[in-house]
Structure 1
Amino acid sequence: MLKNNQGFTLIEMLVVLMVISVLIILIVPNLNSNSENINEKGCDALTAVVQAQVDAYYIDEGSYPGSLQVLASAGYIKNEQIECPDGRQLIYSGSSGSVSSP
């Protein structure tokens, strides 16, 4: 009598591992190169949010805040929003009320 042995052969397992390895080799370099682009877009978005809060402060108070710390202490932004996610400090010009990313 023949036995019905179910399972995978060594060749089938090697083919599956080879396909997974090729996919990993193709995907991992793309993830690394996109992280800089993601950080840049995140910093641009944060700059736009902080600029909107500076404008809201100007509407409420009638003058621009002296610094981003003043804006944070007044509750318009959080202390974490003073710098970009990658650690770069936002640049604030108190005289014109403009916020820019470095």
Structure 2
Amino acid sequence: MLSSAMNRARGARKNESGFTLIELLIVIVILGILAGIVVFSVRGITDRGEKSACNANLKTVQTASEAYYAKNGSYAADGAALVSGGFLQSDPTALTDAKTKVTYTTGTPPTITGGTSC
């Protein structure tokens, strides 16, 4: 009884075959297409993140400038004055990335513009 069960198992294994080259190539092509879709989707997410960071920096400097004016009666000379006055923790006008950098031009009121991503 045991030997007949083993013979049937061996016979079933002989009829099994592996994947063909065509089947493997089809799977590789499908995975490549899916990877391409993911790459383009992630690039759009990065662009939106840079735009959000730029807008956040712009609004933060505008708010800090108004708070400086409310406390001191005049506008800050530059972004560094907002940091030294305690209105900002770091100076977004000193960023090296042109996409998220904020430009602060002295005036009454000052001109505050965002980087290329805004």
TM-score w.r.t. the length of structure 1 is: 0.70
Who is 1:52 aligned against?
A: 63
Q: 1:94 aligns with which of 106, 112, 117?
A: 106
- The answer to whether the Cα contact below 8 Å between 1:92 and 1:100 also exists between their aligned partners in 2 is yes
Q: For structure 1, which segment, 56-65 or 8-17, has the greater mean C-alpha deviation from structure 2 after superposition?
A: 8-17
AA matched with 2:97: G
1:42 alignment partner, one of 50, 53, 65: 53
2:31 alignment counterpart: 20
Aligned-pair Cα RMSD in Å: 3.2
Between stretches 91-100 and 28-37, larger displacement belongs to 28-37
Q: 50-59 or 36-45, which moves further after superposition?
A: 36-45
**Contact 2:83 2:91 (C-alpha < 8 Å) held by counterparts:** no
Quick check: which has more Rg, 1 or 2? 2
Q: Output the CA distance in 2 between the equivalents of 1:35 and 1:80.
A: 23
